[in-house]
Structure 1
Amino acid sequence: MRQRGSGAGLRQESLPDKIHRYRGVIVVFSVPLLLVSFVLLLMPSYPAGPIAPVGRKTAPGGGGDAGSKSYAVIFDAGSSGSRVHVYCFDKNLDLVHIGEEIELFVQKKPGLSSFAKEPQEAANSLIPLLQKAESVVPPELRQRTPVRVGATAGLRALGNEKSEQILQAVKNLLQDKSSLKFQPDWVTVLDGTQEGAFQWVTINYLLGKLGKTYSDTVGVVDLGGGSVQMAYAISEKAAAEAPQISNGEESYVRKLLLKGTTYYLYVHSYLHYGLLAARAEILKVGDGDSNCILDGYHGSYKYGDKEFPASAAPSGASFSKCRSDTIKALKANEPTCTHMKCTFGGVWNGGGGDGQKNLFVASFFFDRAAEAGFVDPKQAVAKVKPSDFEEAASRACKLNAKDVKGAYPLVSEDNIPYLCMDLVYQYTLLVDGFGVEPHQVITLVKKVEYGDAYVEAAWPLGSAIEAASSA
């Protein structure tokens, strides 16, 4: 038996000798490897990166595949006009572009309520908007795209019979002429709290606030033509202590689950206190002549199917007298409050709190501020104070109607006689109605920046989010 030694006396085995000694093992392992390599060589090659599923196309610009997109078409049938919004969402419910725009937005005047005696004409007024909306929805997605019509305060003010006739005509139109997904109960008169809640969801969604604590959200005041809504998130404790409503109206508090977070939303809508409706309420206070109509104007004001005398008082408009009339119209000083804190007309104010401290104010507030010249109409948002409306009103009330265009070139012809009234009303609504401090900074908002685009700060987006979530 040979003994192993050490050092240089050991013979080193060469590579050929090793190959020869293990040739059987090498053959066993090499044959399968050669077969696998041969199969891989015959397989077609694919480009690097994600592979689109069969039957779906990847959207240009990295927008994801078309099958993951969903659309929603929402009609806002307001008192001053009809508007259509079309939104496109990805699978995460984030907005994506429709062509070059983040949404389709088209509007048309007058509103449905202007056709109180012609329901078919009311429905027909939506046809151009419907055609435009359908044109931007891909044909293969139209039958899956919900179309909803939300009528607001203008139709609410007409009463049940007339509003139902108009709504039925709109339902028939969508049933017969639309290629979109439609259900009759998707055409409805929104109650004010729905409108206010959707508006709150819209603005907080666009600001990226949803999913955060209620104190990180913003409060919203939305001044439409027929009604005004206030909505803001409150604590669970404050929600539990909310007064009960016994006259059949909607509850003050709505519970919402959004992005995994539960919110208790204080929301109330004041019918007859939108800007156009409030003009009628203020004109009722006078005896024919009004302290709020600009000097030199004599005429009448039509709201809905009623007309009101609208002529200047002999001495012209007066800021202080107009403000007194406006407070009476708001019922701001009437002792009807049965709760600890009220806004006006005996309505609970929600108790205040962190959800209200950052206030976003939308719709006609922005429009009149732009016409009065203290915000830039080309900007989407503006920081102002209620006192800015007071100062603008004080100047406007001194004018003669024929001099308004020279002083305020952006005011439309229809609004000239009511410039003093509108600005006084907006200041009074904020300060005496909602209890906002005159020098508190608030944000006037027309559109909200969202990524590289701006989106209309309007309730239809909130409705679209709900529709897309349940589609």
Structure 2
Amino acid sequence: MESLHEPFMNRGSISPTGNGTTDHLEKMKLTKASPDSVSDKIERYRGALLVISIPVLVIMLVVYAMPGKSAHDATVLKEIELLSRKVGVSYRGDRQYAVIFDAGSSGSRVHVYCFDRNLDLVPIGSELEIFEQIKPGLSSYANDPQAAADSLISLLEKAESAVPVDLRSKTPVRVGATAGLRALEGNAADRILQAVRDLLKDRSTLKSDANGVRILDGSQEGSYAWVTINYLLGNLGGTYKDTVGIVDLGGGSVQMAYAISKDAASKAPSAPDGEDNYVNQMYLKGSKYYLYIHSYLNYGLLAARAEILKASDESGNPCILEGFDGSYAYNGKEYKASAPSSGTNMEECRRVILKALKINDTCTYMKCTFGGIWNGGGGDGQKNLFVASFFFDRAAQAGFIKAADHVAIVKPHAFADAAKRACGTNYADTKVTFPDLGEGDLAYICMDLVYQYTLLIDGFGLDPYQDITLVRQVKYGNSYVEAAWPLGSAIEAVSS
């Protein structure tokens, strides 16, 4: 078959005078020597273009003519859009921007991304991603929704300045609130979200809608994080065995997500009442994935502190550093935080953490993680595990990886080794021993490290000496991009 990238030869006919061959060769030389005009190329390839574009347009018309669009229809439309991009039938500009706010329990962050027509990331100036963050998070303004919304103004201004003026009205902006807002009582979360919607409507020139400001459920957060890391690694488009699993430890919740086989997905149990489905289907770069996801609310690092303090008796908590006597505030509540008279003890700390994790809850499946939750069955999609967010941060602050690194391969037992050192430190000496820790984290460094080790080993069932990849940023081209769920949300936003 002749390539569309090579000019077709004008074969002509041989003149009966005998000069036709020479004339024909001269015409061929002329054809090769003279560049085609745009109109000539269109004329030459019009048949091929019609063959390619007509089926795509027909399919699009058929799907849009259907009386109602199901989730499957939406997926088909996305696949058609990607196909149309590949064959050059594009109805978008060459650049698309997306602005995603991550309203987490420990702070608010904004990410700005730019994509080309193939959904590849392209630089914004000299950066592949614009990123800015502030503290505290929206949940800290539970009683003042307007103050919560106003806290985002500086981030919004930063994001808008990164988007070309003529594209701002076409650039989707989303605000995804995570575990911090999920845990607020009454209608506090709804009032904050409405104040944020009003802020975007009144002060932003970006493309916003009410549904774009919401609390993400755990499965959404986990699936976006999984998409982000596998997208950046270039793993999408193959089989589930080509992908990596993720554990994302936020402030209020922790998510595990990894791809499983179609057979395993067909045998997945139903989730407990009120919980998200264990398995979601996703269509990415022409491949269908069955994604096991579970989000554990109240088991993010900051929320887990409260659970661990609640699980200890009134004589003190063995996870708190000796010499500290105070309280811990989380989501508007305070918990007594002091070491027992016997001092800090790592083994006793582990015992309290196992109780907080509800390791011994009844498991009605073949295998559970903790709290009676199905573990997904394991398999190839979980063998290569990327572990993000607070896992990376504490490892760097504890000194067993470099803070400047983007990724680091460690073994879970490294958290136990660091915990032994931390739990043997007096509170008064902590700032010297762990100089990179924030003031509010000093008393909890033993607790945090023991919790992270216990979560990985007893909670998720990892081998203490298997390799895991701690990840903060993933290399993409010549740049590094934050390994966080907002990129997955941005990909969905510009594909909608």
What is the TM-score when the length of structure 2 is the normalising length?
0.81
Aligned equivalent of 1:118: 144
CA distance in 2, matches of 1:246, 1:219: 23
1:99 is aligned to 2:125: yes
Q: Distance in 2 between matches of 1:162 and 1:420?
A: 33
Q: How does 1:63-82 map to 2 (within 5 A)?
A: 67-82=93-108
How many residues matched?
412
CA distance in 1, matches of 2:248, 2:149: 26
How far residue 126 of structure 1 moved from its aligned partner, in angstroms, is 0.3
Q: Partner residue of 1:151?
A: 177
Against the structure 1 CA distance between its residues 246 and 365, is the aligned structure 2 distance closer, same or farther, given a 3 Å change threshold? Answer: closer
Question: What is aligned with 1:447?
Answer: 473
Give the drift of 1:398. Answer: 0.8
Could you tell me which residue of structure 1 aligns to residue 364 of structure 2?
338
Residue of structure 2 in register with 1:320 after alignment: 347
Partner of 1:3: none
Name the CA shift for 1:73/1:160 in 2 (closer, same or farther; >3 Å).
farther
Are 2:131 and 1:131 aligned? Answer: no
Q: Residue type matched to 1:283 in 2?
A: L
Structure 1 counterpart SS, 2:403: coil
Write the mapping of 1:375-454 to structure 2, written as runs, cut at 5 A. 375-454=401-480
For 1:409 and 1:76, locate their aligned partners in 2 and report how far apart those are by CA, in whole Å.
28
| Paired position in structure 1 for 2:383 | 357
**Which residue pairs with 2:190 in the alignment?**
164
Amino acid at match of 1:79: S
Q: In the TM superposition, what whole-angstrom CA distance separates every residue of 1:363-390 from its partner, at most 9, and x where no partner exists?
A: 0000000010000000000011110000
The one-letter code of the counterpart of 2:341 is P
Deviation (angstroms), 1:80: 0.1
Name 1:237's counterpart in structure 2: 263
- Structure 1 residues 144-180: Cα deviation after superposition (integer angstroms, max 9, x where no partner): 0000000000000003511000000000000100000
1:296 maps to 323
Using the alignment, how far apart are the partners of 1:272 and 1:166 within structure 2? 20
Deviations 1:246-277 (A, max 9, x none): 51321100000000000000000000000000
Deviation string 1:384-421 (CA, Å, 9 cap, x unpaired) is 11100001101110110111122222122111100000
2:188 maps to amino acid = K
For residues 258-277 of structure 1, the aligned pairs below 5 Å read 258-277=284-303
Moved segments of 4+, more than 2 Å: none
* Aligned residue among 307, 310, 313 for 2:337: 310
1:467 Cα offset (Å): 0.3
Q: Separation in 2 of the partners of 1:251 and 1:130?
A: 34
Separation of aligned partners in 2, 1:264 and 1:155: 28
Structure 1 segments unaligned to the other structure (5+ residues): 1-21, 34-39, 44-65
Name the structure 2 match of 1:348: 374
1:177 corresponds to: 203
Match for 2:124: what amino acid?
I
Matching of residue 190 in structure 1 with residue 216 in structure 2: yes
For 1:301-341, what per-residue CA distance to the aligned partner results, in whole angstroms no more than 9, with x for missing partners? 0001100000111122100000000000001123x110001
Residue 356 (structure 2) pairs with residue 329 (structure 1): yes
Q: Distance in 2 between matches of 1:212 and 1:148?
A: 29
Distance in structure 1 (CA, Å) of the matches to 2:473 and 2:264: 31
Q: Following the alignment from structure 1 to structure 2, what is the Cα–Cα distance between the partners of residues 425 and 357?
A: 22
Query: Secondary structure at 1:449's aligned position in 2?
Result: strand
Residues in 1 aligned to 2:351 and 2:281: alpha-carbon distance in whole angstroms = 38
- Structure 2 residue aligned with 1:46: none
TM-score by length of 1: 0.85
Contact conserved, 2:93 with 2:117, CA < 8 A, in 1?
no
Identity %: 65
1:293: Cα distance to partner? Answer: 0.3
Q: Distance in 2 between matches of 1:238 and 1:442?
A: 24
1:227 is matched with 253
Equivalent position amino acid for 1:304 in 2: N
Q: Any gaps of 5 or more consecutive residues in structure 2?
A: 1-16, 28-33, 38-91
Q: What secondary structure sits across from 2:365 in the alignment?
A: coil
One-letter identity of the residue aligned with 1:310: A
Q: 2:238 aligned with 1:212, yes or no?
A: yes
| Cα separation, partners in 2 of 1:121 and 1:397, compared to 1, 3 Å | same
Q: Residue deviations 1:397-451, cap 9 Å, x none?
A: 0110111122222122111100000000000000000000000100000000000
Q: Give the Cα separation in 2 of the matches to 1:128 and 1:409.
A: 29
Of 152-161 and 89-98, the range deviating more from structure 2: 152-161
Distance of 1:75 and 1:466 partners within structure 2: 14
Structure 1: how far apart are the matches of 2:185 and 2:258?
A: 29
| Equivalent position of 1:456 in the other structure | 482
2:45 aligned partner: none
Cα distance in 1 between the residues matched to 2:323 and 2:306:
19
CA distance in 2, matches of 1:284, 1:359: 31
* 1:207, distance to aligned residue in structure 2 (A): 0.2
- Indicate the RMSD between aligned Cα atoms, in angstroms: 1.8
Whichever residue aligns with residue 491 of structure 2, its letter is I
State the Cα deviation string for residues 52-80 of structure 1 (Å, max 9, x = none).
Answer: xxxxxxxxxxxxxx931000000000000
